[in-house]
A and B are shown apart, each in its own frame.
Chain A
Amino acid sequence: MVKLGRRAAFAGALAFTGVAASGPSKAQSQELKIGIKTEPSSLDPQFHTLNPNIQVAQHFFDALVLQDENLKTKPGLALSWKTLDDTTWEFKLRPDVKFHDGSDFTAEDVVFTYERIPKVPNSPGPYTIYTRAMKSFEIVDPLTLRIHTNGPAPLLPLDLAALSILSKKAMQGPAPEGKTSAELNAGNGLVGTGPFKFVEWQRGSRIVGERNDNYWGGKPVWSKVILRPLSNNTARVAALLSGDVDMIEDPPTTDLAKLKNDPKIHLDRAVSNRVIYIHLDQHGEPSVGIPDTNGKNPLLDKRVREALSIAIDRKGIDDKIMEGVAVPAGDLLPYPMGGTRKDTAVDAYDPAKAKKLLADAGYPNGFHITLGAPNGRYINDLKIAQAVASMWSRIGVKTEVDAAAPPVFFKNRDSFKYSAYLAGWGASTGELSNALKALLATPDRPKGMGTTNSGRYSNKEMDAKLEQALVTNDDAEREGLLAEASKIAIQQDHGLIPIHFELSVWAMKKGLTYQGRADQNTLAIGVKPAA
């Protein structure tokens, strides 16, 4: 450690005299420093289903199935997979893959990994949500694995994409789960097959990885990767501008114009899987946030819901508030993700028609409503809610925004304190069933349906299509069913109002490029020096 300190001190001395600052040397060009927004809560890839954790795990580990930048599945540690019957999947594993400690990767490691998940104690967000469908495992030979499921599980490959494969050998330990989360946090047992080998984690300061020269996906460009948590937006931008880091994720929208005009900075962007939407209370009468309709709930009327949707100037919001880092949405996921349609129309801004629809529904003078929103959970969430409030007020629906810190907002939302609320959803699977299940299926919490449907939209026809899709193994057929379900819930019923998809932005030094990902993850392997 002292030795490292001295070497770093020497490097510091160089920087002090301006030598290192004068231009990129060869050694520098192989080291990549990334400013990330949120530090992981743990390095145990089975401790907490949290995006920052998953993103860091993907530097050190691989899953059987990987997702490309549009979240479509592609081979990872499994070369191919197919269903043998309704409840059996067979995975052919990639041969000649080595873990960082040199040992071979086999089906034993996969089974060990999946069986460890329910044993991880005190998990604040368990990975068991991805192993629900699994019943038992069958190792046919070291490179062939069969997974028996409880019922038809067409989305199993997508579930597996969330599960980093651990080394059975390196994970041996006295605890029931082998190596504990605390041991993994200290790097003990943190042995994967991924593009980088773990070096160190200093909480709050940095996570360091070095190149895995034997990576099955080809030798990574960067010899060393340093991920630095820089949670403050301004500080993250300052760190990029001052050269402390080479690249940052999610620069604040207010700085985008400045960064775009900076000749030393390059921006890359990608449409994300996160939709910002407004949910409307369709449960019954009266509705808590609507005081002046004599106990009636106008939101039960489809015409009112449509009026509220077309009263929103989505383009205006995206240009003026989001500074161009959003695209208007007419569905829960952007095309071409699974189940989306190319021709999905976005509700056009038409306040005159909105007023007419309100009048037709019996509310020519509108009504009062409270719009709940979190403050600080999604990009510009409060500002969007305020803009929507003024647009609704313009057609006579006098809207007051009730913004709260995220924990309070979620509590209120889940106890149905809002007649309308603004929130966001990122379908990690990159296909519609995930979002439809959570946001629009008739709430049935024990079954995991409609878990975030606090507007309590319900349509039996849509439920039927969704449930059928969830047991359909054929991809095209399933996606067709999902498209129909979404069409019923959104275009036909206006069950919720999609506003926009967030664009993810990465800012980096000129000379680098990043293949932006729809899941908003920042992966060093995707950063390339421009040719």
Chain B
Amino acid sequence: MIVYIVRRLMQAALVMVVMSILVFVGIYLIGDPVLMMISPDASELEREAVRKALHLDLPMWQQYLLFVNDALHGNFGKSFLAGQPAMGLIFERFPATLELAFMSLVISLALGLPMGVYAGLRPHAPGSKAIMTGSILGFSLPNFWVGLMLIMVFAVMLPDLIPGWPRLPASGRGATVDVLGVKLSFLTLDGLRHLLLPAITLSLYKGALIVRLARATAREVLPMDYVKFARAKGLSERRIVGVHVLKNIMIPIATVSGLEFGQTVAFAVVTETVFSWPGVGKLLIDSILLLDRPVVVAYLVIIVFFFVVLNLVVDLLYSVLDPRVRLESRAT
């Protein structure tokens, strides 16, 4: 078990190194960060001074070694633009993104799982057909369009047309509460109202995925011998579905939810932009546009690490959900 975890973490380290080299070379090739940041009124002398201060005057390989040296000391460099440690900037915004991703996961599971199981149990019922058709929309509608439509309907049109209709906020994060130094907004009513529209936008795709997955696995599991046996034993339908079927459905659902959660955290950029959500996605986009290399590198390192841990957690969950899965054998 320990060997397995260590091996996975070593793989992660390798990926991080390769990725940091790619980002370094990529940004180096695109252009000069100083040109993007300095006032165009500045003279050549002043530009040189900035390049020197940010070590941009060195050859690329020296800049990279400087970075590696700092990174080994746990310091991923200071943002060119903000002059503050890149990691700090990212972690300051991480709770907002995690909160949003978590909320959308909860919504998609809470709605997707029952709907999918229902559709699996009664594949020919009109309700099931409606659910399956709806899930196609969930897959195919682009994120930013759904977000904009939700804003137009719930933040602008409905409250304008119907007096007294509650107006949902179109942008930003609501009031926050400090929990152990982390600012959380889902603990306040105002925060929840702000969370609602972006979380729904994000959960649509994931929800549709879960509906389809739950339906397919439910149909696969239902004809199994143990379900027939449970029926023969005279167990109630509730117990059969709630325990025996659901437990077996949960393995693929856990995998997909885990990976999708990672996807959402790393790339909620579009939704965050549409709703002006102060998360890391927006920070990443802004940093790429301004060639703020330390932030981009630090962000990607965190995300790679995050994905590796997430995959690990999913694998560990397997062994909890399905005792037949043994981690040692999968590691070889």
Contacts and interface: CB of A to CB of B under 8 A. Distances in A.
Interface residues of B, number: 72
A204 B41 contact: no
B38 A244 contact: no
Nearest to A241: B156
B42 A451 contact: yes
B300 interface: no
Given A12-B190, A13-B189, A185 B84 contact: yes
Interface string A117-133: 00001111110110000
Contacts of B155: 238, 241-242, 244
B275 interface: yes
A5 interface: yes
A12 B188 contact: yes
Nearest to A181: B83
B165 A18 contact: yes
B311 interface: no
A206 to B, nearest CB: 7
Given A2-B177, A5-B176, A411-B31, A242 B167 contact: yes
Interface stretch (A227-235, A381-389, A500-508): A227-235
Interface stretch (A71-79, A217-225, A440-448, A478-486): A440-448
A418 B40 CA distance: 19
B297 interface: no
B107 to A, nearest CB: 19
B172 A206 contact: yes
B166 interface: yes
A410 B171 contact: no
Given A122-B53, A123-B53, A239 B43 contact: no
Contacts of A206: 172
Given A12-B190, A232-B274, A407-B31, A129 B170 contact: no
Contacts of B2: none
Contacts of B187: 5
Contacts of B50: 123-126
Contacts of A8: 174-175, 188, 190
A414 interface: yes
B166 A451 contact: no
A17 B169 contact: no
B279 interface: yes
B36 A410 contact: yes
B278 interface: yes
Interface in B123-165: 148, 151-152, 155-156, 159, 163-165
Given A238-B171, A428-B41, A231 B282 contact: yes
A242 B170 contact: yes
Contacts of A128: 46, 49
Interface in B16-59: 30-46, 49-50, 53-54
Contacts of A121: 53, 83
A48 interface: yes
A16 B31 contact: no
B244 interface: no
Contacts of A448: 41-45
B78 A244 contact: no
Given A121-B53, A124-B34, A407-B30, A5 B165 contact: no
A165 B193 CA distance: 40
Given A228-B276, A411-B32, A447-B43, A11 B38 contact: no
A66 to B, nearest CB: 20
A42 B89 CA distance: 12
Contact of A242 (B81, B156, B189): B156
B193 A16 contact: yes
Given A124-B34, A205-B173, A406 B53 contact: no
Contacts of A261: none
Nearest to A264: B160
Contacts of B151: 235, 238, 242
A452 B96 CA distance: 41
Nearest to A39: B286
B160 to A, nearest CB: 9
A203 B92 contact: yes
Contacts of A91: none
B255 to A, nearest CB: 32
Contacts of B36: 406-407, 410
Given A242-B170, A244-B170, A125 B276 contact: no
Interface in B43-99: 43-46, 49-50, 53-54, 78, 80-84, 89, 92-93, 96
B44 A445 contact: yes
A445 B39 contact: no
Contacts of B45: 446, 448
A243 interface: yes
B172 A228 contact: yes
B170 A239 contact: yes
Nearest to A449: B43
8 contacts: A9-B191, A18-B166, A21-B159, A21-B166, A129-B41, A203-B278, A236-B276, A243-B167
Given A125-B39, A231-B276, A232-B273, 11 more contacts: A2-B177, A9-B191, A42-B83, A126-B50, A228-B171, A228-B276, A230-B171, A239-B171, A241-B156, A242-B167, A242-B169
